[in-house]
Amino acid sequence: MKKLLLFCVASVFLSGCATTVPVSAKFPEAPEMLLVECDKLDKIGKDKVYFSEFLTTVVGNYNKYHVCAAQNAMWKEWYIKQKEIFDKVSE
């Protein structure tokens, strides 16, 4: 009986120690457009080409780089802005 009483009293007072975290913020998912991998660079793939053909391939590769760099810049912008918003919630 004494033990039961002790258990009841202890369980009531120890219940104050129980803590729960009811709400948690989730970091947002990145847009799928940013998850796309950069294009592979083109090769000439022939032994003989005209200079203009060669240059066109080079320009195409530069273009691919610029697209990839823009995507990378967007990743940075996305992360900085989302982190700012996320941090504001937990302030």
Q: For the segment 4-23, give every residue that binds another protein (CB under 8 A).
A: 11-13, 15-16, 18, 22-23
- Report yes or no: 90 and 24 within 8 Å, Cβ to Cβ: no
> Between residues 3 and 40, which has the closer beta carbon with respect to another protein?
40
Instruction: Report residue 87 as tokens.
Output: 């941090």
Q: Please identify which residue in 2, 3, 37, 89 interacts with another protein, judged by CB under 8 A.
A: 89
Q: Token pair 């803590």 is at which residue?
A: 19
Q: Does 3 bind another protein (CB under 8 A)?
A: no
Q: Does 35 bind another protein (CB under 8 A)?
A: no
Query: 82, 28 in Cβ contact below 8 A?
Result: yes
